[in-house]
Structure 1
Amino acid sequence: MPSQNPALPTPDQIRRAPKVLLHDHLDGGLRPGTVVDLARAGGYDALPETEPDRLGRWFREAADSGSLERYLETFAHTCAVMQTREALFRVASECAQDLAEDGVVYAEVRYAPEQHLEGGLTLDEVVAAVNDGFREGERRARESGRRIRVGALLTAMRHAARALEIAELANAHRDVGVVGFDIAGAEAGYPPTRHLDAFEYLKRENNHFTIHAGEAFGLPSIWQALQWCGADRLGHGVRIIDDIRVADDGTVALGRLAAYVRDKRVPLEMCPTSNLQTGAAASYAEHPIGLLRRLHFRATVNTDNRLMSGTSMSREFELLSEAFGYTLDDIQWFTVNAMKSAFIPFDERLAMINDVIKPGYAELKSEWLFSQTATTSASSGEED
């Protein structure tokens, strides 16, 4: 997306910038061609399209349709083709490679093991297949000259009754690729407090967890996730904007929940394109992330479902740069926020920030300054 403002980063600069991704669903990020291949190999004949480009377009249109039923149908198709070790391994490997190609240096990718048992795999076998796939994807990325580290978040479905079991699974695999726990699914009617036993278990084990909250249901969902369950991060959390009042003169007043979230530096896993699709925001320019960034909330930028949203981390930042005039400094701010909020040890987060992220942005900013100097010199008629 070209920009008329020379101060804004170019798409190429955004793509090359080191990025950190905290909220990405494995079953929402498949390559369309992979869906077709796996469906054919597994005898799944219910795909709406069997040509990759048309199938990719169908996924995006279904997600944009405004129909919850059609949106949920998209995941029925991807999960249906992810029921064998080979399929899970391939999807995870390609996920890591695709993210690395987009400049992502650290990612936490989530999936619900309970949704991949129809082919006879056990929960442990599902986790092992995905972990092995991520390691293969990291290796292939290194071979292509890129680096990425991927950690898995094990998700429990909030409408089901296996949260404690999945929490125990996450804890059992925490030193071999799994970095935390999550719950997902419809918020309305399925509050996180239904799964307090899982969260209490994770807290006793000193383990990390995030909760999908404040995407559709609003402030009560956020309050419960934080005060009843003790979430480390909020998946989306976009509805925190409902507790912030902006007067006609621009004066901002934070309610007690919003103030708590900001004061406690609670990370918000914001997914702009996905939020537009679900109606949480009317446009990129009206997305709450603009105000939350100005108010210095711990906001992060994420993809949610790359296939359904037709997006990537680079695309999300391009769109936000166009909407809010974000520069490389802003993108670095979001990236450091995300790395600070990752579920890996402090020293490893610090090393990523100091050894990978900051040097990467310093190089890009140096290139930008050089190009601006060259442009100024050329326009003034100076010679070398």
Structure 2
Amino acid sequence: MSQLPTLEEIRRAPKVLLHDHLDGGLRPETIVDLARETGYDKLPTTDPGALRTWFQEASDSGSLERYLETFDHTVGVMQTRESLVRVAAECAEDLAADGVVYAEVRYAPEQHTSAGLSLEEVIEAVLEGFRIGSEGRGIRVGTLLTAMRHQARSMEIAELAVRYRDVGVAGFDIAGAEAGYPPTRHLDAFEYLQRENAHFTIHAGEAFGLPSIWQAIQWCGADRLGHGVRIIDDITVPADGEAKLGRLAAYVRDKRIPLEMCPTSNLQTGAAPSIAEHPIGLLRRLNFRVTVNTDNRLMSGTTVSEEFAKLSEAFGYSWDDMQWFTINAMKSAFLPFDERLALINGVIKPGFAQLKWHG
């Protein structure tokens, strides 16, 4: 048996990231700086190392609601144009340093207006930051505009996603606590996006089960599922037989609906018991359109490379498996087909071929 790829080797592989929250990936040093500059005085500590530890420990509670509370501090320091430009630029730099060649990073514009910025000013600041951070680093970053499930601004955000789609906004998303806030509350926004031939993903099947996945796909028409781990509830694996797929799981697999899996985050929110028992193992074996993502790099203390390293250790994944996950992600990106193909054939396959050859 060949040796599994090391973390350092994995960092050199060309990777694709589809599910990453801008307000979940700040550098602790930046949070401290921005808090000082903007007068934000609610941080639990102003020591960057201690702050990093606080975020990760607060995120390990097993509760999605408690996990989401940590964002009060990151969002709290992201209320000015300057802070948004800096955070977006550093996000692109950090992803490029981890070997990411294409990323779709999401955020909710409505959460960054408390100091007087308009939604348009928020969007333009983030786009500027990504332009600055991506330059010369071999990474391309698109943004997903997120609407909050418990608010009533989804149509407004959807219209902005369409307005800015030719200058860096790749698509639309809804996020926030799933229980009590079904995606069907935002049906008008999803129908508008479909009429406009726009792309969107929906957080579903993480804290809530199969009904949220069914609604996201069959009522709302989602192109991708954010997380989607609970699709496992529609798969039965007898001790002595092959996996049996229920109607919904079979539909998701048949239609190649991408699943934006975030293993470490899923452990923190209680959506999976451990990496070794994460549904991604079975779903990969059954050839679902699975992708590997970070969700929130600060809260989970992770990178895409580290997610792959954990999966490789748990499931024995080789370079071929990692290439499979990466091509899945690139196929599922909200980019024109020819641009996806160019990255697959011109960057991803040659990059993995070189690593496998040297390995």
Identity %: 78
Choose from 33, 36, 39 the match for 1:37: 33
TM-score w.r.t. the length of structure 2 is 0.99
Question: In 1, are the aligned partners of 2:63 and 2:268 still within 8 Å (CA)?
Answer: no
Tell me whether 1:181 sits opposite 2:172 in the alignment. yes
Counterparts of 1:1-384 in structure 2 under 5 Å? 6-68=2-64, 70-139=66-135, 142=136, 146-368=137-359
Letter in 2 for 1:93: A
Q: What CA deviation, in whole Å up to 9, does each residue of 1:171-226 have, x standing for no partner?
A: 00000110100000111100000000000000000000000000011000000000
1:47 deviation in Å? 0.1
- Asked if the contact 2:13–2:351 (Cα under 8 Å) also holds between the matched residues in 1, the reply is yes
SS of equivalent residue, structure 1 residue 64: coil
Q: Deviations over 1:144-189 (max 9, x none)?
A: xx41000000000000000000000100000011010000011110
Q: Shift of the alpha carbon at 1:71?
A: 2.4
For residue 12 of structure 1, report the CA deviation from its aligned partner.
1.4
Q: Deviations over 1:39-77 (max 9, x none)?
A: 000011110010100000000000002355542331000
Q: What is the root-mean-square deviation of aligned Cα atoms in Å?
A: 0.9
Instruction: Give me the whole-angstrom Cα distance separating, in 2, the residues matched to 1:326 and 1:71.
Output: 29
Question: Could you list the runs of 5+ residues in structure 2 that have no partner in the other structure?
Answer: none
Alpha-carbon distance in structure 2 between the residues aligned to 1:68 and 1:127: 26
Structure possessing the higher radius of gyration over alpha carbons: 1
Which amino acid in the other structure matches residue 12 of structure 2?
A: R
Deviation of 1:344 after TM superposition, in Å, equals 0.6
Output the TM-score relative to the length of structure 1: 0.92
Looking at structure 2, the residues matched to 75 and 350 of structure 1 have their Cα atoms a distance apart, in angstroms, of 36
Question: What is the alpha-carbon distance in structure 2 between the residues aligned to residue 65 and residue 275 of structure 1?
Answer: 11
CA distance in 1, matches of 2:91, 2:288: 29
In the alignment, the residues of structure 2 paired with residue 69 and residue 50 of structure 1 have an alpha-carbon distance, to the nearest angstrom, of 24
Matches of 2:26 and 2:60, distance apart in 1: 18
Structure 1 residues 147 and 49 mapped into 2: Cα distance closer, same or farther (>3 Å)? same
Unpaired runs of 5+ residues, structure 1, are: 369-384
Superposed CA deviations along residues 283-331 of structure 1, whole A, max 9, x for unmatched, are 1010000000000000000000000000000000000000000001100
Task: Give the superposition deviation at 1:360.
Answer: 0.2
Check conservation: 2:62, 2:267, Cα contact below 8 A: no
CA separation in 2, counterparts of 1:68 and 1:253?
29
Matching residue's letter, 1:252: A
